[in-house]
A and B are shown apart, each in its own frame.
Chain A
Amino acid sequence: MNGIHDMGGMHGFGPVEVEPNEPVFHQRWQGRVFGMVRALGRGNIDAGRHSIERLDPVAYLEHGYYGRWLAAFERGLVRFGILAPGDVEARMKTRRRRTPRTTAGASGHTRAAWAPVATNFARETEAPPAFAVGDAVITRNHQPAGHTRLPAYARCRAGVVTRVHPAMVFPDDNAAGHGENPQYLYTARFDGRELWGGSAEVGTAVHIDLFESYLDRAG
């Protein structure tokens, strides 16, 4: 979708502000949101990203990273019927205490069973890859209303394949619940001038990871 999330190349955001020695979570609620999403997450990362992309564009900018996670998480809880609309507001009126701990003691010596689990996005496919390293490619004018991982700044641009990855879960379909439909993933290199015209800095290039159906053979 042509959304506010697709920021590559936009003007007007000002300087990059760096906070020295910043904490992992600035506020406690951010860690709780992150932890709840990780604890509950059942794996469709593409649907999760698309949920964030569909936030109101002004809210997207104002909420900050974990605020966006929270908004998408809440919307998912309601959509899947885990919470009813208004449940959270009702609970906010009645509760002032922190959630009691069920298994960890106050001393924190009891550790809950949890381990970070990796997800393999690569899939076996029978067809060979359509492109090889060194092939000249051009990106399609692909502008779906749904999720995609072809950035807007890289549409209709000529590049060269620099790496052929395994076939991986295709985000455009997976986000919509239309199946994993794996496709080969490629890294392609785009010269700065191809992307940014006369405003490009000299001696710069952008490498982008692109699925096979985003690409055509050039020439």
Chain B
Amino acid sequence: MSDGHDHSHGKADIARRVEAIESLLAEKGLIDPAVVDEIVRFYEQEVGPMNGARVVARAWVDPAFRTRLLADATAAIAELGFIGPQGEHMVALENTPRIHNVVVCTLCSCYPWPVLGLPPSWYKSPAYRARVVREPRAVLAEMGLTLPADIEVRVWDSSAEVRYLVLPERPPHTDSWSETELAALVTRDAMIGTAKVVVPQRP
């Protein structure tokens, strides 16, 4: 059921099927395979959680940017150049010592592409989509994040064209860190809300 598998066709079959479609569409002049190459390259290399991490780190070091991000995330994120499909109507969700936010799309797999890239398999899985709205604490605990009962858990089901970015809490004892160093700490999962940002222990 995971994204890497297909049970109704063999892997070779499905690869040949897609190749056949691409060649037919290219012959008809509807698809330029070089454009498809470029789209694949763009989503493999140019967008991803490193973009969202820059937004988060900027919000941690620049209070005015943080204010703009929480007021109008689409415009604030565009200041860093992160615009495009599935990022048209952004909302930033601020984690606090009392509130933890986590994002899902139960109806398909909506995800903020310009800041996080394309979604990981688990985000698209029936298990995550079905369960995180009903039992977010249990799902987060399974994924390694156990939240005390007095922290409110807010689940955000991206059921329309609004896309959500979690603004995690800045980890303690990072006051002297640069924006670039901070960005390197911020993970994809922390911006979905299934993890917190932590400073790795030195060996």
Which A residues contact B (CB, under 8 angstroms)? Answer: 5-11, 13-19, 22-36, 38-40, 49, 52, 59, 61-67, 70, 73-74, 77, 82-83, 87-88, 91-92, 95-96, 98-104, 108, 110-114, 116-122, 149-151, 153-154, 163, 165, 168-169, 171, 185, 187, 189, 195-196, 199-211
B20 engages A92 (CB within 8 Å): yes
Q: How far is the CA of A31 from the CA of B107 in the complex (A)?
A: 22
Q: Known pairs A22-B121, A32-B40. 12 more at Cβ < 8 A?
A: A8-B129, A29-B15, A35-B39, A65-B109, A67-B14, A91-B21, A95-B16, A98-B19, A103-B32, A118-B85, A185-B162, A210-B159
**Interface size (B, Cβ < 8 Å)?**
90
Residues of B within 8 A of A165 (CB): 89, 160, 162
Are B16 and A207 neighbours in the complex by a CB distance under 8 Å?
no
Interface centre among A8, A14, A103, A165 (most CB of B within 10 A): A8
A24 near B118 (CB under 8 angstroms)? yes
Residues of A within 8 A of B40 (CB): 25, 31-32, 34-35
CA distance A169 to B88 in the complex (A): 13
Complex Cα–Cα for A53 and B152 (A): 33
Inter-chain contact total with CB atoms closer than 8 Å? 291
Residues of B within 8 A of A111 (CB): 38
**Chain A neighbourhood of B8, CB < 8 A:** 59, 62-63, 67
Contact partner of A39 (CB less than 8 A), chosen from B15, B39, B154, is B39
Closest B residue, CB atoms, query A90: B20
B151 interface residue (CB < 8 Å to A): yes
The verdict on B68 contacting chain A, using a C-beta distance below 8 Å, is: no
Contact indicator A209/B162 (Cβ below 8 Å)? yes
In the complex, chain A residues whose CB is within 8 Å of the CB of B153: 201, 203-205
Query: A-contacting residues of B (Cβ < 8 Å)?
Result: 1-8, 11, 14-26, 28, 30-40, 42-44, 47-48, 83-85, 87-89, 91, 104, 106-109, 113-114, 117-118, 120-122, 124-139, 142-143, 149-162
Contact A32 to B1, CB < 8 A, known contacts A16-B127, A151-B107: no
| Alpha-carbon distance A65/B123, docked complex (angstroms) | 11
Pairs across A and B, CB under 8 Å, 18 listed: A8-B134, A16-B131, A17-B121, A29-B17, A40-B31, A65-B109, A88-B21, A102-B26, A104-B33, A111-B38, A114-B39, A118-B84, A151-B157, A187-B162, A200-B134, A201-B138, A203-B149, A203-B151
Evaluate contact between B5 and A64: CB separation under 8 angstroms.
yes
Residue of B with least CB distance to A108: B37
- Could you tell me if A104 and B34 are in contact, using CB atoms closer than 8 angstroms? yes
Of A95, A112, A116, which is within 8 A of B32 by CB? Answer: A112
- B28 & A82 in contact (Cβ 8 Å cutoff): yes
Q: Report the minimum CB–CB distance from B75 to chain A (whole Å).
A: 12
* A18-B40 Cα distance, complex, nearest whole Å: 23
User: Which residues on the B side are within 8 Å of A5 (C-beta)?
Assistant: 107-108
Contacts of A154 in B (CB 8 A): 157
Whether B14 lies near A83 (C-beta < 8 A) is no
Give min CB distance, B28 to chain A, whole Å.
Answer: 7
Interchain CB contact under 8 A, A195 and B30: no
Asked whether B2 lies within 8 Å of A17 as measured between CB atoms, the reply is yes
Q: Nearest CB to that of A93 among chain B residues?
A: B20
**Do A64 and B157 touch across chains, with their CB atoms under 8 A apart?**
no
With a cutoff of 8 Å between Cβ atoms, the chain B residues found around residue A104 in the complex are 33-34, 37-38
Given A16-B122, A82-B30, A204-B155, A211 and B160 touching (CB < 8 A)? yes
CB-CB < 8 A to A113: which residues of B?
A: 35
